[in-house]
Structure 1
Amino acid sequence: MIPEQKARRNIDRMLEAAGWHIQNYAERDTGAALGVAVCEYRLRADQRADYLLFIGGVAIGVIEAKAEGTTLSGALQQAERYRANLPDDLPNRTRFFFSYASTGVETYFRDIRDPDSRSRPVFTFHTPEALANAFNQPRTLRERLKNDLPPLEKGSLRDCQFQAINNLEDSLKAAHPRALIQMATGSGKTHAAVSSAYRLIKFANVKRVLFLVDRRNLGKQTHSEFQAYTTPDDGRKFTDLYPVEHLSSNIINDANAVCITTIQRLYSMLKGEPDYESADDEEGSAFEQETEDTTPQKVVYNPNIPIDTFDLIIVDECHRSIYGKWRHVLEYFDAFIIGLTATPYGQTRNFFNQNLVYEYRHEQAVEDDVNVGYYVYRIRTKITESGGTVAAGNYVARRERGSRRLNWEELDEDVEYTGNQLDRDFVAEDQIRTVVQAFKDVLFTELFPSRKTVPKTLIFAKDDSHAEDIVRTVREVFGRGDDFCQKITYRSDRPEDLIRRFRTQLNPRIAVSVDMISTGTDIKPLECLVFMRAVRSSGYFEQMIGRGVRTIDPEDLRAVTGRATTKTHFIIVDAVGVCESVKTDSQALPGEPSTPPEPNGTPPRDRNQILDDVSVDQVLNTGFTLQSSTQVTRVIHAFKQFIDQNTNELSALKILCKHPEEQGTLTEENLKELEKSLKAPPDVLTYESIWFAYQRRSPNSVRGNVEQLTDLISLVRYAIGENAFLEPFKVTVNRRFVEWLHGKSITGEQQMWLEMIRDHIATSLDIQMSDFEYTPFAEHGNGAKVYQLFGDDLDNILTDLTEKLVS
């Protein structure tokens, strides 16, 4: 069989699978079916078309067949010559729109009506129904994309979302088949994608959008985003106008305008499986499941899912697996592919033809108050760094990985392990306890000094077994019940319900996860991430820390975290050196041992874990790292710039900066006005976050922790250089009170009242006679009593004391 005959056989199979009836020229009956492909159709000038395509008896296109391995650009030119030589007796010669060139392995398609019409690769031939629909459309999709999209109105869109949508639409207008949008985690990628999908469906008549997510729980989150989206021009919800389905079966409803699913389920559908039996696979992120040597999945044509099923594919978090293991699944469809990511690799950009239409990094998102920045706090322990040794003669337990059954034995020789083997081959119980205890010890002294409630905290564990050990230890160390700390992995009971509770309710305060919350999952109240596992993938690490960057409305934060005021930053507690390690674009499988293989490639002899309950761990050192300096600098610079820009605008700053036109003393209302202005965009500062930054930059100059609103006075005076050190305003007041009392002759009862007056001024900045009718004065005799003690000198005493303490 000559190569071209072999190609013809493959092309025949492809056409029949797509629903075309193949006929010989001599026996042609072009009206026998909706779609008929006539072989060796005779044209003028003694030419023959390899295949002429008919829809309802009308010639609409041609196929030029070539031997396997032939490049097809010239073949398409040949197909175009056929157009000029159609027989005179063929009707509809002026509407002969479609050209294919194919080797049976590689196929290209062109619609001459497209603006600047150019051919594109397709997986196989379109169905007769698809070409009939395209033939009867007055304009092609690419024409509609170029001409029908009205100018985008900004409305409630963030600047970054507005720019991303505009740039994407420019790319689509130019008919670029693939486009990549890089936007920082928490900046609203999904909302931008929903906004764009709405415009494309409504104005460009996009038939159906496929929205691919990284895992099933993110599909539910995306579905909720579509349900919540209010259309800007109509005012109704997206789902009231267009059907949106998060696929839970292997059936695509023709009525759907948007289908949301994982690529694992999509592959199952293309294989023709009646349902996706390995639904648990939808729970694992492809960030963790992709390795360097992953073989791309083989895809064959499924007539129930034609290549024109979707006009647009949106890939949320387009990690390496998209252009590795799963790329053939995407390339099956004749659709535009839009990638959304916060962490693109070089290979990602290549897959999207280097068409990065918009880039919005975390650093810019922090500047724009779209994200919050972070500090890094390091905990080093002896066993974490160096491993341990269990001496011969000790009884140890070996824990079976699957069943967690314990088998006790006496060691007949010393057993040593490295830090890299922790929680894989060895579990040092005191190492976990020591890290958790160190975290608890600094939680309210160094990490969140103005808090009394444990902030929402997420601990990353190495695997489900490690997570189980951490949960038990956290509950013990904090002395709290089960609700306080929960494991959220795919083995948990109702993990999605646990995520909802973690996001919206008081408890759990601490969640321990392996990878279920590591990418995409939106938990805005998170203020602390604890890494007790290493991460080798740079992209995966960025995704993990992205769990903490999201901003949250202060009222929503207080609803779940008590006295918290505003989320201005989050803290990474690094217990394994993850922020210091060198990372690559690869990622090991979940639960894969971090130790290198044996030289001969054989696995270790004993795959059970040895539980070391003999070794005692100790903290080597703790503290904020130099990686925190960027956030420190940003906050302090923003605060000083705020003072410079508002010295002539805000009364509090006029007084504190000794503005010559401003007289009098500060009032509580002045400070509240200052606080409100600080919290407003673009700075979004609080006195807690500013104090925290100064503690990080100049720990020897900061005495004590922030306590109350009046500490803003101390912050401004320190920032403008009036004070050489930073201390709570109450401490300053107490020192000035002692100076004011010096040399005065007073009774013990008078001193008690003066101290109550001092404390009131430290909080409210002044005192009025009406204040004596309230706590704590009322309990000791209210205004009548204070007047009895100080007589007619009371007014002068109050005025003099206020000026001394506040000025």
Structure 2
Amino acid sequence: MNNKKNLSERDICTKFITPALVAAGWDLHSQIREEVSFTKGRIIVRGKLHTRGEQKRADYILYYKANMPLAVIEAKVNSLSLGAGMQQALNYAETLGVPFVFSSNGDGFLMHDRTGLSDKTEQALALDAFPSPAELWQRYCQWKGLETDAARHTVEMPYYDDGSGRTPRYYQANAINRTVEAVAKAQPRILLVMATGTGKTYTAFQIIWRLWKSGAKKRILFLADRNILVDQTKNNDFKPFAAAMTKISKRQVDKSYEIYLSLYQAVTGSEEEQNIYKQFSPDFFDLIVIDECHRGSAPEDSAWREILAYFSSATHIGLTATPKETKDVSSIVYFGEPVYTYSLKQGIEDGFLAPYKVVRIDIDKDLQGWRPSKGQTDKNGQLIEDRVYNQIDMDRTLVLEKRTELVAKKITEFLTATDPYAKTIVFCDDIDHAERMRQALVNLNPERVKERRKYVMRITGDELEGTAELDNFINPEERYPVIATTSKLMTTGVDAQTCKLVVLDQHIKSMTEFKQIIGRGTRINEDYDKYWFTIMDFKKATELFADKDFDGEPVMIYEPKDDASPVPPDDNPGAENDHPESELTGNTGDTTAGEGGDEPRGRVKYVLGDVSVYVIAERVQYYGPEGKLITESLKDYTRSTVRKDYASLDEFLRRWTKAERKAAILQELEQHGLLLEPLADEVGKDFDAFDLICHVAFDQPPLTRRERAEQVKKRNYFAKYGEQARQVLETLLEKYADTGIENIEDIKILTLDPFKNMGTASELVSAFGGKPAYMAALQELEAHLYA
């Protein structure tokens, strides 16, 4: 075909690649998916605005069954080589976890085999030599070690389909498939690590559904340690199990069900008769799924270990966002290396999780310390021990009431400046601190509290009215409560989709707890304009972001003691206690002990109302493209962003001049993180995007849009056009001066005021001699604007 080199990439797909796939036996409707966007595009935040980066989009993904992706194909135009798309396709294949990778320009295929089972990693194939579905599936099963018919039957079982079109996201599919494959190969212990907000429960449901429907697992137990987690699971993601499912309670054990959900605390106790799980035979369950498996129940309890040891013949699947690895406790020793990990960093990079900006506020007494005068007593008449008190002591040993008021004031100022009804969680050191913070926030927001007294609520495990508001807080449709002060109760298991502000006024020693707290804000809810969130840090907790363990792979450092068997995490009595109090443990906390914390009861606490405090430093940091917090001005960020794409002013000018649509360049820069609107707020709203970029990135003196428009008028080049065409160009120039280049490039502008008063859009275009001539006139106008 002589004109093959002139065909577009889409034409190459339609005329050559798709027919070759169909000829090889691939079903067009169930096995071939074209132009698949499998990420959302990273959300980039600057100031109060955000944009999305580029999505990853594969030209083709090929499936054996609806749930089993086998191959990626990247298409290129025929003027490029056969393998021109291979590196891009390999990048997609690594993300999607598929073994067979193809690049094509319509002349044939270059195949890359990632299984390591082929004699040649890469080889060229003719158009009519594309492998069949059965051939690739056979090689896939060989690669995965799925050697028996039973194992293949289990893996081939489709997802649950509710008819809504909802399918697992790519990383959920990876997690489900890896887990189902591990079960099919009789792996007894399986660990799945997925960041908070990535849909662990939905993923668990699909795993259980496929194993249950395939007959690989017949009776399944789902264990959690929070009542709200069990109820949310039963009523939401697990709802399709319907009549086959039950929740175990202390009053009822019915062995006629197939799917059981339970709290650890509901089936165990200190007395033998409370160990309800023993009413089941040890081989009753053949699958146990442990939610939040980095935690146990109460610290002295060995319920976690007892239950799993009793049902030791079952397959155990552990789910967690934060696998625990210390010298005393290990998720990996018990479960093995994770079969799949999807990190917070990857979730943000893909655009499925909300990025964050950090407002770090340092208070003078925290950093510089405070020492009592000789013989000084507190408000309660207690003699204050003579020493220097600093940040570690604040709200634990020493309460400065003015400090609490200052923190509440900064929170209030932030919400007033952004959104007074943005859902906010304030993490405090203990219940007493959470109550004092509630009072301070109430006093600083009298009008909001007058509107609804539940504007601010303390939600801690010791107080029923506050705990009863937890469901309202996490419900996006409920406006109140807006601000929740808490200690440990809301660190985990709280699906607060619309939480936009997380305040850290708590000492956080555990990386596990820090990750869980950050996870309260990482969910995205586009319906409620929740794309990112802010962390306001008063106690230097966000320094943990710089820790190499923050978002890396878990590394096992467990040191077994003599005669010690592997201990499931958090069942070791000396393990760090970072779990929240549970509704059913009977631990309601007190005002002196840290809520769910490790402070002894009766801890001495000095309270002072007359010590002044003030802010000595405040800075804003953004989540950067490499997953690190960056502290830099908007101008510095713009300069570095533009210069990644354009090394010099000349390079930028050449591209700008040649571009048919300047908006395309601006859109490209936006996808790489440039936000023009906040930049215009800082530099000047009267400047064109071109001038903002040249001025900030390349130190050029800027001209306003009006100045550029006046220069064009002085040249009087419009005189060569007829009256109507000249009038159109003059109006376009005025529009440019008012609103910028992007608006005048869209031909639809001719249908709006004041153009529609001059004639129809087709009449106005005809005044130039047709659309090509109109577009040429527009480009000439742009050339004069940027001369």
Confirm whether residue 338 of structure 1 aligns to residue 317 of structure 2: yes
Gap change, CA 1:303 and 1:487, over 3 Å in 2: closer
Kept after mapping to 1: 8 A contact 2:622/2:629? no
1:609 aligned partner: 605
CA 803–770 in structure 1, closer or farther in 2 if over 3 Å, else same: farther
Q: Partner letter of residue 391 of structure 2?
A: G
Match for residue 391 of structure 2 among 419, 425, 430: 419
Within the alignment, does 1:519 sit opposite 2:509 as a pair?
no
Tell me: CA distance 1:319–1:722, structure 2 relative to 1, closer, same or farther (3 Å): closer
- The equivalent of 2:518 in structure 1 is 545
Cα deviation, 1:55-75, whole Å, max 9, x if unaligned, reads xxxxxxxxxxxxxxxxxxxxx
**Is 2:430 the partner of 1:466?**
no
Confirm whether residue 580 of structure 1 aligns to residue 543 of structure 2.
Answer: yes
Q: Judging changes above 3 Å, is the alpha-carbon distance between structure 1 residues 523 and 302 closer, same or farther for their aligned structure 2 residues?
A: closer
One-letter code of the match for 2:358?
A: V
The one-letter code of the counterpart of 2:439 is R
Instruction: Give a deviation string over 1:36-91, Cα, whole Å, max 9, x none.
Output: xxxxxxxxxxxxxxxxxxxxxxxxxxxxxxxxxxxxxxxxxxxxxxxxxxxxxxxx
Partner residue in 1 for 2:681? 704
The question of 1:477 aligning with 2:444 is answered yes
Aligned AA for 2:431?
Answer: D
Q: Percent identity?
A: 24
C-alpha separation in 2, matches of 1:654 and 1:725 = 13
Query: Which of 423, 432, 435 is equivalent to 1:456?
Result: 423
- For the residues of structure 1 that align with 2:628 and 2:684, how far apart are their CA atoms? 20
State whether residues 703 and 725 of structure 1, in contact with CA within 8 Å, keep that contact through their aligned partners in structure 2.
Answer: no
Name the CA distance, whole Å, in 2 between partners of 1:589 and 1:226.
24
- Mapped contact 1:393–1:411 kept (Cα < 8 A): yes
- Who is 1:221 aligned against? 232
What is the distance in 1 between the residues matched to 2:500 and 2:214? 41
DSSP 3-state at the match of 1:169: helix
Q: What do residues 98-122 of structure 1 show as CA deviations (whole Å, max 9, x unaligned)?
A: xxxxxxxxxxxxxxxxxxxxxxxxx
Q: Secondary structure at the match of 2:273?
A: coil
| Pairing of 1:568-717 with structure 2 (within 5 A) | 569-580=532-543, 586-587=576-577, 607=603, 609-625=605-621, 630-631=626-627, 657-660=655-658, 662=660, 704=681, 714=689
1:385 alignment partner, one of 342, 367, 376: 367
Alpha-carbon offset, residue 251 of structure 1 = 2.1
Aligned partner of 1:486 among 427, 438, 457: 457
Give yes or no for contact 2:363–2:617 (8 Å, CA) kept in 1.
yes
Inter-CA distance 662–763: structure 2 relative to 1 (3 Å threshold): closer
Q: Does the CA contact (< 8 Å) of 1:438 and 1:619 recur in 2?
A: no
C-alpha distance after superposition, 1:369-393 (max 9, x if no partner):
2223323321100122344345468
SS at match of 1:495: helix
CA–CA distance in structure 1, aligned partners of residues 236 and 378 of structure 2:
51
- Residues 731-782 of structure 1: CA deviation (Å, up to 9, x unaligned): 954776899999xxxxxxxxxx9999898536984588964799xxxxxxxx
2:169 maps to which residue?
158
Q: d(CA) in 2 for partners of 1:642 and 1:153?
A: 44
2:184 corresponds, among 144, 169, 173, to: 173
Higher mean alpha-carbon deviation, 609-618 vs 624-633, is at 624-633
Question: Is this contact kept in 2: 1:537–1:587, CA < 8 A?
Answer: no
Shift of 1:157: 1.2
Shift of 1:181: 0.7
Normalised to the residue count of structure 1, the TM-score between the two structures is 0.55
Give, as a single letter, the amino acid of the residue that structure 1 aligns with 2:521.
G
Q: 2:85 corresponds to which residue?
A: none
- Residues 239-288 of structure 1, C-alpha deviation per residue, up to 9 Å, x if partnerless? 34x43233444423223222222212221399323xxxxxxxxxxxxxxx
Q: Alpha-carbon deviation of 1:674?
A: 7.4
Alignment-derived partner of residue 376 in structure 1: 358
1:308 maps to 283
Please state whether the residue corresponding to 1:226 is helix, strand or coil.
coil
Pair 1:312–1:632, CA change in 2 (3 A): closer
Please list the CA deviations of residues 454-491 of structure 1 after superposition, one character each: whole Å capped at 9, or x if unmatched.
53322111122211111222233345313332222222
Kept after mapping to 1: 8 A contact 2:641/2:674: no
Q: After alignment, is 370-379 or 534-543 more displaced?
A: 370-379
1:194 and 2:243 are equivalent in the alignment? no
Question: Helix, strand or coil: the match of 1:421?
Answer: coil
Match of 1:122 in 2: none
Cα distance between partner residues in 2 of 1:548 and 1:150? 35
Give the superposition deviation at 1:660.
2.7
The aligned residue for residue 149 of structure 1 is 154
AA aligned to 2:392 is N
Is residue 381–residue 434 contact of structure 1 (8 Å, CA) maintained in 2?
no
Q: Distance in 2 between matches of 1:706 and 1:492?
A: 52
Do the aligned partners of 2:292 and 2:321 also contact (CA within 8 Å) in 1?
A: yes
Aligned mates of 1:349, 1:726 — CA distance in 2: 56
User: 1:178 Cα deviation (Å)?
Assistant: 0.8
Contact 1:691 1:706 (C-alpha < 8 Å) held by counterparts:
no
Q: CA deviation at 1:545?
A: 0.8
CA displacement 1:581-621 (0-9 Å, x = unmatched): 689983468779899xxxxxx979x7453321010001110
Q: In 2, distance between residues paired with 1:144 and 1:331?
A: 31
The alpha-carbon deviation at position 193 of structure 1 amounts to 0.7
Distance 1:759 1:502, change over 3 A: farther
Structure 2: where are the runs of 5+ without partners?
A: 1-146, 160-165, 550-556, 558-574, 581-588, 631-636, 715-730, 757-777
What is the CA deviation profile of residues 659-680 of structure 1, one whole-angstrom value per residue up to 9, with x for unaligned ones? 53627xx7xxx68x977x999x
Q: CA 1:620 to 1:627, structure 2 compared with 1: closer, same or farther past 3 Å?
A: farther
Give the residue type in structure 1 aligned to 2:219: R
Instruction: Evaluate the alpha carbon distance shift between residue 359 and residue 303 of structure 1 in structure 2; reply closer, same or farther with a 3 A threshold.
Output: closer
C-alpha RMSD of the superposition = 5.1
Equivalent AA in structure 2 for residue 368 of structure 1: D
Aligned equivalent of 1:185: 196
Task: Tell whether 2:286 aligns with 1:321.
Answer: no
Is the CA contact 1:536–1:587 (under 8 Å) kept in the aligned structure 2?
A: no
Q: Greater RCO between the two (CA within 8 Å, min separation 6)? A: 2
Corresponding residue number in structure 1 for 2:257? 256
Separation (CA, whole Å) in 2 of partners of 1:370 and 1:357:
21
Equivalent pair of 1:390/1:615 in contact (CA under 8 Å)? no
Q: Deviations over 1:396-433 (max 9, x none)?
A: 433xxxxxxxxxx4869978644322222332111112
C-alpha distance 310-588 of structure 1, shift in aligned 2 (>3 A):
closer
Matches within 5 A, 1:39-78: none
Mapped partners of 2:193, 2:696: distance in 1: 45
Of stretches 455-464 and 177-186 in structure 1, the one that deviates more from structure 2 is 455-464
Q: Could you list the per-position Cα deviations for residues 326-385 of structure 1 after superposition, in whole angstroms to 9, with x for gaps in the alignment?
A: 312221113111001111133434443524211222222222222233233211001223
- CA distance in 1 between counterparts of 2:377 and 2:225 reads 44
> Aligned to 2:475, what secondary structure does the other structure show?
helix
Cα gap change, 1:427 to 1:214, in 2 (>3 Å): same
Q: In the TM superposition, what is the alpha-carbon distance from 1:222 to its structure 2 partner?
A: 1.5
